[in-house]
Structures are given as structure tokens and as C-alpha cells.
Amino acid sequence: MGIEKITTLGKLNVSEDAIATLAGGVVSECYGVVGMASQKILKDGLAEILKKENFSKGVVVRQLENGYELDLFIIIGYGVKISEVIHEVQKKVKYMLEKTLDQPFLAINVYVQGVKVIK
């Protein structure tokens, strides 16, 4: 469905794909995150790292009665504290989306799909 607003200048419509791409861009800039992962684990149990143009495949946006909820699927770097990385991702994504879209985001759920060794 996305976000719909009516202002004095006209109608504003932001799609769920646009929200997902914005969230994916914010996640990719967080320390410890190697990349976004596909929601589906491949047959051999590995997660596919998505490129910038496919960030929306690693994000699920759900509209609730009083706000939005996001599921983020990420791959983190080896040797970082997972809980700290997840907390930072949640903080940054929530702040940026609420600031940019002027909508409440009730939950930012983060799913670590894999750990990658960075050389």
C-alpha cells in the first residue's frame, strides 16, 4: 500500500518499495554490516548478498493500524559484536525513516542471515 498523504499542494504517495530501498541504504552504511541479504535462504543454507539496486528484496514493510513495521535481513562482518550492530541498525533506520517520511515505525526487526569474513 505505501504511505499516502494529502497536503494543500496535492497528493503524496510513497510506495513500499521506496521505503524498503531507503531502509536498505541506511542499513548498508551501518558499521559491521556487510550487506543486505535476500529473505530466502538458498538451498545450500547460504544467504545471497544483494546489490544496491536490490535492497528492497532484503526488507519487508508491513502497515499496521497505527504505524509501520519493518523486517531487515542482513549479513554482518566476522568479529563484530552482533547485539551492538543490530541495536545500531535499529536506531539508525528508525530515526531516518521517521525523519524522512514523517510516519511512526513501531518495530524494526533485524534478522542476521549470515556472517562473512572481511579480508
Q: Which domains does the chain have, with CATH numbers?
A: 3-116 (3.30.70.1350)
**Angstrom distance (rounded) from CA 77 to CA 118:** 6
Question: What digits encode the pLDDT tens for the residues 13-59?
Answer: 998 888 998 999 899 889 999 888 876 665 445 555 655 556 677 88
Average pLDDT estimate for 61-71: 91
**Is residue 104 very low, low, confident or very high in pLDDT (cuts 50, 70, 90)?**
very high
Helix (DSSP H) and strand (DSSP E) numbers for the chain: 2, 6
Question: Is residue 71 predicted with pLDDT exceeding 80?
Answer: yes
* In contact, 103 and 22? CB cutoff 8 Å: no
- In angstroms, rounded to a whole number, what is the distance separating the alpha carbons of residues 17 and 58? 11
The amino acid sitting at 114 is G
Q: Beta-carbon neighbour count of residue 10 at 10 Å?
A: 7
The grid coordinates listed for 105 are 515505525
Cα 73 to the center of its chain, rounded Å: 7
Query: Quick one: which of 111, 40, 109, 108 has its CA closest to 75?
Result: 111
Predicted TM-score (pTM) of the model is: 0.82
First to last CA, the chain: 41
Segment 105-116, tens digit of pLDDT? 999 999 998 888
Locus of grid cell 511512526: 104
